[in-house]
Amino acid sequence: MMQCPKCHVELKSAELLGVRIDACPSCGGSFFDRNELRQARNQADSDLAWMEFDLWKETDSFHVARESITCPSCGEKMATIGYADTGVQIDYCRDCGGIWLDSGEFPRIIKELEKDLDSMTVSEYLKESVREMEELIGADENLGEEWKHFRTVLKLLEYRVLAEHRTLARIIENFRSPFG
């Protein structure tokens, strides 16, 4: 039986976008076992699936508090990671990989990732296309998944090129119109 690390109420099994998680019926917080947060993110917006889910990879964007709450899964202390200007405080267990999110933090994470996705430039999409191609070539497992990610990045690259180059978009649209 797992207990909420905030209010110590028994966590209940719940579903978030088809992913089984453990949720607190009292405070609304959620515990995600390893990879469950990534799965929920992919279900929330499939265009985000190719993005690395490493919100704390850029040290300028976060600050870490050494120990905060106790992991509901393994009982170890969790690190609190504040992400950039979002106000989201992610509690992460370094031992089991579990993540605790307070009520409302999951939608804020998705919104931030979508904002990052929308703000990427053509150059950044090109870099990501190359990175995804490298992952596709080197994929031993999940070839289908890597192919899907590569196609998504290419689709988003196309949208970004057309958004940044309106004249090109009009030319393409005018070219398609007589034939479509």
Average pLDDT per 10 consecutive residues for the chain, totaling 180 residues: 94 95 96 91 77 53 66 92 74 90 91 79 76 68 70 70 68 61
Predicted TM-score (pTM) above 0.75: no
Determine the pLDDT at residue 175. Answer: 66
Number of Cβ atoms within 10 Å of the Cβ of 93? 24
| C-alpha to C-alpha distance for 119 and 124, rounded to whole angstroms | 10
Determine the pLDDT at residue 152. Answer: 73
Determine the pLDDT at residue 66. Answer: 61
Determine the pLDDT at residue 11. Answer: 96
Which pair of tokens denotes residue 5? 């690390």
